[in-house]
Chain A
Amino acid sequence: MGNEIDEREAPRLDRWLRSLNPGAKLLVALLLGVAALVFPGPALAGVLVLVLFAVAAGAGALGSFAKVMFGFGVPASVILVFIQGFYGSSNATFIADFGFARLGLEGVLAALKTVGTVLVFLGGFFLMNRTATPSELVADLTERGLSPEAGYLVLASLNVVPQMRRRMATIQEAQTARGLELSGGVVSRLRAALPLLGPVVMSSLTDAQERSMTLETHGFHLKGARHTTYRAVRRSRADAPLVMAAVTLVVLSVVACVVTALGLVSL
């Protein structure tokens, strides 16, 4: 299998990540995000983001990981720090005065926490998605009791965009062959592409109808049958300890949140 060669040549950490159960990876990604969300202040989110960067680097995916994280993190940080730092209602401690507005520490921390939490979710899901295919994840979730309808919805939705893109490319080729000008500036290209949207949407609807017929004729709604999966879902001895560690982190974050809320400790 082509994939096996790729996997053998991949860094050790990447192979280890791939050996983990996809459901466990999803749970850990979710729990890390929840921990960052619950923990008071941006510190835990910051630490987790750094850990995720280290994991991505070890797995040989630093470039694509950094692109995603910075692509979201930098603009989001700038916008949120500007809004919350200058105009946050909780601002009481001012760390800089720009004349037209003052930068509040509380607002900056809240902005960093929000961005940090989203980055933890984003980074966790990125690594999960990189090391487990959607069908593998859904196979695992179906085995754990997810309804086949829900599983289908997830997978089919993920495939809608690439399929529409393919359809768009086909229609574009056909129109270009008949003289439609699709080169030039953004505005002229947009103007030329707009009329293509109708056929793309209409043909996608027709496809959806035929595909639902295919599902029916393949026994998708067969009553009384328990769905099984063809793909053997990977399981690892590290799955349970990893999930436990993530659960522990969430529990500690909740404790930290309660302790801080009661004013016993200031974080």
Chain B
Amino acid sequence: MAQTAISVSDFSFRYREAKGYAVRHLSFEVEEGGFLCVVGSNASGKSTLCNALVGLIPHHFRGKSRGSVRVFGESVAERSVAETSSEVGFVFQNPFNQLSYTTDTVAEELAYGLCNRGVPRDEMERRVIEVARAIHLEGLLDRNPLELSGGQVQRVALGSTLILNPRILVLDECTTQLDPLGSEEIFDIVKRLNSDGMTIVMVDHDMERVARCADTVLALERGNQVALGTPREVFGDEHITDHGVDVPDYVRITRALDRAGLAPGEVELTEEPTVDRVREALGR
């Protein structure tokens, strides 16, 4: 049986000087090797949740918190962010803010977290090459990170997190500022990491992608947990859009076909079965 990687229990948080809670009574678990996607409109508390998972709440962002956030059984509130970072990697939205601004080359940037852990140079060099291969950065190792494109910098940011061998990877809208190609590149890497056993928590607005890859979807609305389940359970709920949560186009199409009696059946989440249902409808 898989170990529980993340356990969030009745967690609420209010930022200092804020009037209301950013998240309220969140409770869920993610098993090791799981893929959780967090969805919801702006200001629904997605980033607050990510910050809590890596310990930035309560260590970096001060405020009032209730409940608990545990990573492999350890409360993130009782460990420093630096300690938690050994197990939980975090990739932010803006790639350029994830550079250390202290390095001249991509190789040095990748190794930055290892330097902070006192890893010997030969070990660092080995791991830099390993990670560069895994995320296709081999040709960029001698380049200045500040001269790269947004997509390349985001891969550097991801690499500098992966080099620390985290067991959990938290990605907060990390593809928002990238073009579709750069975005898919990052996502392919994340999918591969997950199939290799890494636990993924990802905030994403691309619902087709969420439906394709997540094994669990958590939907938030103004800080409240409004749905938790498999993509089919969450997106199949007719009322989920009332909570500001978008659904994949395939869900809309197949639901419309079902309602019109043209191709009755459950909603579909991906392209192929949707095409089959459309064919079925046209065949009639």
Asked whether, in the complex, the Cβ of B116 is within 8 Å of the Cβ of A219, the reply is: yes
Q: In the complex, what distance in Å separates the CA atom of A220 from the CA atom of B104?
A: 18
Q: Is B35 an interface residue (CB 8 A)?
A: no
Asked whether, in the complex, the Cβ of B100 is within 8 Å of the Cβ of A214, the reply is: yes
Besides A1-B142, A216-B82, A222-B116, 12 other A-B contacts (C-beta < 8 A): A133-B104, A135-B103, A151-B102, A155-B101, A216-B59, A216-B60, A219-B85, A219-B86, A221-B80, A226-B118, A230-B115, A232-B121
Q: In the complex, what distance in Å separates the CA atom of A230 from the CA atom of B127?
A: 11
Name A153's closest neighbour in chain B (CB-CB): B102
A163 to chain B, nearest CB (A): 7
What 1/0 flags go to B110-142 for Cβ under 8 Å of A? 011111111111001100100000000000001
Q: In the complex, what distance in Å separates the CA atom of A2 from the CA atom of B105?
A: 12
B228 to chain A, nearest CB (A): 26
What 1/0 flags go to B227-259 for Cβ under 8 Å of A? 000000000000000000000000000000000
Most chain B beta carbons < 10 A, residue from A155, A213, A214, A221: A214
The 4 A-B residue pairs with the shortest CB-CB distance in the complex, in nearest-first order: A155-B102, A230-B111, A210-B97, A218-B113
**Chain A residues with CB under 8 A of B160:** 218
Q: Is B89 an interface residue (CB 8 A)?
A: yes
Q: Is B107 an interface residue (CB 8 A)?
A: yes
Q: How many residues of B contact A (CB 8 A)?
A: 44
A207-B97 contact, Cβ under 8 Å, with A213-B56, A230-B111, A230-B115: yes
**Chain A residues with CB under 8 A of B59:** 216
Asked whether, in the complex, the Cβ of B82 is within 8 Å of the Cβ of A223, the reply is: yes
Q: How many residues of A contact B (CB 8 A)?
A: 38
Q: Is B27 an interface residue (CB 8 A)?
A: no
Partner of A135, one of B85, B92, B102: B102
Q: Is B4 an interface residue (CB 8 A)?
A: no
Q: Is A8 an interface residue (CB 8 A)?
A: no
Pull 22 A–B residue pairs with CB atoms less than 8 Å apart, ordered by A: A135-B104, A211-B97, A211-B98, A213-B56, A213-B60, A214-B92, A215-B100, A217-B56, A217-B85, A217-B161, A218-B113, A218-B164, A219-B82, A221-B81, A222-B82, A222-B117, A225-B117, A226-B118, A228-B115, A230-B107, A230-B108, A230-B115
Q: Is B54 an interface residue (CB 8 A)?
A: yes
Name A162's closest neighbour in chain B (CB-CB): B146
**Chain A residues with CB under 8 A of B101:** 155-156, 159, 163, 211
Q: Give chain A interface residues in 133-180, CB to chain B under 8 Å.
A: 133, 135-136, 138, 148, 151-152, 155-156, 159, 162-163
Q: Is B184 an interface residue (CB 8 A)?
A: no
Q: In the complex, what distance in Å separates the CA atom of A213 from the CA atom of B125?
A: 25
Q: In the complex, what distance in Å separates the CA atom of A70 from the CA atom of B80?
A: 52
Asked whether, in the complex, the Cβ of B100 is within 8 Å of the Cβ of A218, the reply is: yes
Q: Is A64 an interface residue (CB 8 A)?
A: no
Q: Give chain B interface residues in 143-159, CB to chain A under 8 Å.
A: 146
Asked whether, in the complex, the Cβ of A227 is within 8 Å of the Cβ of B115, the reply is: yes
**Chain B residues with CB under 8 A of A155:** 101-102
A218-B80 contact, Cβ under 8 Å, with A135-B103, A211-B101: no
**Chain A residues with CB under 8 A of B94:** 207, 210
Q: Is B83 an interface residue (CB 8 A)?
A: yes
Q: Is A231 an interface residue (CB 8 A)?
A: yes
Q: Is B90 an interface residue (CB 8 A)?
A: yes
**Chain B residues with CB under 8 A of A226:** 118
Q: In the complex, what distance in Å separates the CA atom of A212 from the CA atom of B111?
A: 17
Q: Is A90 an interface residue (CB 8 A)?
A: no
Name B59's closest neighbour in chain A (CB-CB): A216
**Chain B residues with CB under 8 A of A236:** none
**Chain A residues with CB under 8 A of B124:** 228, 230
**Chain A residues with CB under 8 A of B118:** 225-228
A214-B97 contact, Cβ under 8 Å, with A135-B108, A225-B117, A229-B121: yes
Q: Give chain A interface residues in 94-149, CB to chain B under 8 Å.
A: 133, 135-136, 138, 148
